């Protein structure tokens, strides 16, 4: 046991020393002279992308505009949750409601009550 521990410590020390020497003596990165340097042109104006126009339809008033994203994980780009999202949320709520009565304190009190009942039962069963 001691021999293995000594070997592991020695291996770790050697590894640390190798890291230190690598940082001290590693070769400098090469600069490729054959590549042309990139020249930035400052004379061209920056192009700002324009937002797309609002959608139109033949029957005005039937299109529901996309509102802001109200919660993370909404389907369809933040418009409405998908069926799977709603199903998962309802399942999560069901599990939370089902586990509401099971708390650590309630479990400890129930275990204590059971222990008291077992002690009383054991006293009753002992021959007098």
Instruction: Output the pTM of the full model.
Output: 0.24
Beta-carbon contacts of residue 76 (< 8 Å; ≥ 6 apart):
82
For 128, the 3-state DSSP assignment is coil
**13-71 tens-digit pLDDT:** 999 999 999 888 887 777 666 655 555 555 666 667 787 776 665 555 555 555 555 55
Long-range contacts of 97-100 (CB under 8 A, 24+ apart): none
The average pLDDT across 3-18 equals 95
**95-114 tens-digit pLDDT:** 888 877 777 787 888 889 89
């Amino acid at each position: 046991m001691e021999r293995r521990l000594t070997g592991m410590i020695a291996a770790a020390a050697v590894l640390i020393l190798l890291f230190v020497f690598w940082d001290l003596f590693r070769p400098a990165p090469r600069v490729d002279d054959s590549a042309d340097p990139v020249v930035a042109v400052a004379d061209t104006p920056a192009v700002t992308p324009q937002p797309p126009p609002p959608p139109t339809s033949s029957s005005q008033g039937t299109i529901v505009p996309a509102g802001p994203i109200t919660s993370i994980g909404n389907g369809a780009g933040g418009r409405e949750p998908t069926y799977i999202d709603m199903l998962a949320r309802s399942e999560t709520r069901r599990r939370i409601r089902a586990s509401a009565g099971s708390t650590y304190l309630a479990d400890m009190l129930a275990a204590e009550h059971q222990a008291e009942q077992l002690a009383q039962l054991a006293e009753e069963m002992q021959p007098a």
